[in-house]
């Protein structure tokens, strides 16, 4: 086998535990030398892996693997390779085609089906962690939010004062009027905008308040005394401008209008279906105002699939069957996840003991520093001796603090629980899909399905989004018997 070494560190990781590019490279070259692995090229990249398709060097490496220049990748950790589902998908795609045979880290090689599954969990975590980085910054704000204080600029109808928000009685009457007018379901938001303008509502710049702003106001729970922050609803300590009943009434009107709109324009399965023959997206249309029809549009003498119309029930059936076959080799999946959990916990324990050790050392140094101050007060030391000893201890203290800071953030039990839930969800995909209403179906498709290619009204191939794709791959594996045999002989 021939390996590429891939090293990555982004500038945003500067103060974190990730090793420098030089260190990564040195460790990997050492490792390859010890193990006798053949390295054909080394790639180094200083980019974040959060967004897909932004890493040129990573892209170059993948295309070289496609050409057969190498069939293995050596990295310091799998999170160096992928922190988003698309890149991870590209890698797994290469693996399923047999072009990429192994991803190796100094601690573990990934080269069998259950390894990919395991790595899937690793990728899920990397993505989860990537999202977490953004959250950490906001922790300060969050404590404010938990107390029910709105943490940012007051919206129309309120003003900020001493970290809280209060009703602005010059603007609040317009908000009340907006909600009341809209709750009667007689005017559009635009028409209400005109009415409010005539009645004197202006932006700071003296203009009419635009429809989008009024629409946002109508769905903003802040006006009934709660507020949304980071996608969650909190009970506010501020006073509402309108009653909860009025707010609910307005939501009812809005929902009614949405439903009417969706019934005309929204096709549940559009965007997930392509034609297996010509590769174009299937489009959808309404026939007789009632049924959705899906078909290949590339019909102008080019594709024989053009005449195959399918209605939404046909598609629903195909997807349901597909989700049924999605059923995972449960035993293998359970075992892979258990193994992953054990590794995480072992790693956490190791880090905990390192942390304890460092903290003990730190406490001892503090003690020594205290003693030193006492001795100095008692006049037992010369000024030079005191400064020298003090400097030495402070340097040591700094080094230990540095090491403590470098300890990685741990994968929490919470994350492991999420993975467990995800696994359970995958076991029941068909039920969820069949029994869910349109919203549930739509959510499920959005999170799990990448593409179905259709030929002669049947599914030709199915691609899922990660990490679902992993589980789908594993479920198709014939490895199970050998794997089982191995396990029986070695319980």
Site of interaction with Zn ion (CB under 5 A): 275, 277-278, 296, 298, 303, 305
The least CB distance from residue 301 to Zn ion, in Å, is 12
Least distance between Zn ion and beta carbon 278 (Å): 3
Distant-in-sequence, close-in-space partners of 160: CB < 8 Å, separation ≥ 6? 153, 154
Cα torsion for 77, 79, 81, 82, to the nearest 10°?
160
In whole angstroms, the minimum distance from the beta carbon of 305 to Zn ion comes to: 4
Nearer to Zn ion, 303 or 459 (CB): 303
Burial class, 15, CB count within 10 angstroms (exposed 0-12 / middle 13-18 / buried 19+)? exposed
Considering beta carbons, is residue 349 or 461 the nearer one to Zn ion?
461
Query: Smallest distance from the beta carbon of 310 to Zn ion, in angstroms?
Result: 13
Burial 54-84 (b: 16+ CB within 10 A, else e): ebeebeebbeebeeeebbbbbbbbbbbbbbb
Shortest CB 452 distance to Zn ion, Å:
14
Q: How far is the CB of 285 from Zn ion (least distance, A)?
A: 16
Cα separation, 76 vs 103, in Å, equals 10
Judged by beta carbon, residue 90 or residue 308, the one nearer Zn ion is 308
DSSP string, 345-396: HHHHHHHHHHHHHHHHHHHHHHHHHHHHHHHHHTT-S-HHHHHHHHHHHHHH
Burial of 250: CB neighbours in 10 Å, binned 0-12, 13-18, 19+: buried
Q: Which is nearer to Zn ion, 211 or 451 (CB)?
A: 451
In angstroms, rounded to a whole number, what is the distance separating the alpha carbons of residues 27 and 77? Answer: 12
Min. distance of Cβ 303 from Zn ion in angstroms?
3
Residue 222 or 275 with smaller CB distance to Zn ion? 275
Q: Tell me the β-bridge partners of 427.
A: none
Smallest separation, CB 266 to Zn ion (Å):
23
- Nearer Cβ to Zn ion, position 111 or 453? 453
Quick one: 204 or 307, whose CB is closer to Zn ion?
A: 307
Separation of alpha carbons 105 and 75, rounded Å = 5
Smallest CA-to-CA distance from 383 within 371, 375, 393 is with 375
Considering the complex, state which of residue 392 and residue 457 has its C-beta at the smaller distance from Zn ion. Answer: 457
CB of 267 to Zn ion, least distance (A): 18
Q: How far is the CB of 274 from Zn ion (least distance, A)?
A: 8
* CB half-sphere exposure, 117, CA atoms < 13 A: 26
Burial of 426 (0-12, 13-18, 19+ CB in 10 A): buried
**Residue 449, burial from CB neighbour count under 10 angstroms (0-12, 13-18, 19+):** buried
Torsion of CA 119, 122, 123, 129, to 10 degrees: -170
Closer Cβ to Zn ion, 96 or 453, answer by number:
453
Residue 3 phi, psi dihedral angles, 5° rounding: -115, 145
Q: Which is nearer to Zn ion, 242 or 277 (CB)?
A: 277
């Amino acid at each position: 086998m021939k390996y590429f070494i891939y090293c990555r560190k982004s500038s945003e990781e500067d103060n974190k535990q990730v090793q420098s590019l030089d260190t990564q490279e040195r460790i990997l070259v050492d490792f390859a030398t010890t193990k006798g692995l053949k390295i054909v090229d080394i790639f180094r990249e200083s980019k974040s892996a959060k967004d897909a398709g932004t890493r040129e060097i990573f892209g170059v490496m993948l295309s070289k693997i496609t050409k057969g220049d190498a069939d293995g990748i050596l990295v310091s950790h799998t999170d160096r390779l992928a922190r988003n589902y698309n890149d991870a998908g590209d890698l797994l795609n290469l693996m399923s085609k047999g072009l990429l045979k192994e991803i190796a880290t100094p601690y573990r090689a990934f080269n069998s089906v259950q390894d990919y599954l395991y790595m899937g969990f690793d990728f899920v975590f990397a993505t989860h962690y990537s999202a977490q980085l953004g959250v950490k910054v906001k922790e300060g704000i969050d404590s404010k939010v938990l107390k029910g204080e709105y943490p940012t600029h007051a919206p129309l109808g309120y003003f900020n004062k001493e970290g809280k928000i209060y009703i602005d009685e010059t603007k609040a009457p317009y908000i009340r009027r907006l909600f009341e007018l809209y709750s009667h379901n007689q005017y559009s938001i635009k028409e209400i905008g005109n009415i409010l303008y005539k009645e004197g509502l202006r932006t700071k710049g003296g203009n009419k308040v635009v429809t989008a702003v009024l629409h946002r106001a109508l769905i903003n729970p802040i006006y009934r005394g709660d507020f949304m922050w980071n996608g969650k609803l909190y009970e506010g300590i501020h006073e509402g401008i309108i009653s909860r009943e009025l707010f609910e009434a307005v939501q009812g009107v809005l929902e009614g209008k949405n439903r009417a709109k969706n019934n005309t324009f929204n096709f549940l399965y559009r965007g997930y279906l392509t034609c297996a023959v010509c590769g174009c997206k299937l489009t959808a249309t309404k026939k007789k105002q009632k049924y959705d029809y899906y078909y290949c549009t590339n019909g102008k003498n080019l594709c024989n699939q053009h005449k195959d119309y399918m209605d939404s029930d046909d598609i629903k059936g195909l997807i349901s069957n597909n989700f049924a076959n999605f059923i995972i080799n449960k035993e293998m999946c359970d075992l892979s996840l258990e193994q992953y959990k054990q590794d995480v916990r072992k790693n956490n324990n190791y880090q905990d003991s390192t942390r304890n050790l460092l903290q003990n050392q730190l406490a001892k140094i503090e003690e020594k520093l205290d003693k030193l101050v006492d001795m100095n007060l008692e006049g037992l030391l010369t000024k030079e001796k005191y400064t020298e000893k003090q400097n030495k201890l402070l340097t040591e203290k700094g080094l230990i603090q540095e090491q403590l800071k470098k300890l990685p953030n741990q994968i929490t039990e919470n994350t492991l629980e999420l993975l467990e839930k995800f696994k359970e969800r995958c076991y029941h995909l068909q039920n969820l899909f069949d029994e869910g209403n349109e919203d549930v179906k739509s959510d499920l498709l959005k999170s799990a399905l990448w593409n179905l290619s259709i030929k002669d009204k049947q599914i030709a191939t199915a691609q899922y989004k990660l990490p679902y794709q992993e589980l789908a791959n594993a479920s198709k594996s014939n490895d199970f018997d050998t794997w089982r045999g191995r396990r029986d002989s070695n319980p």
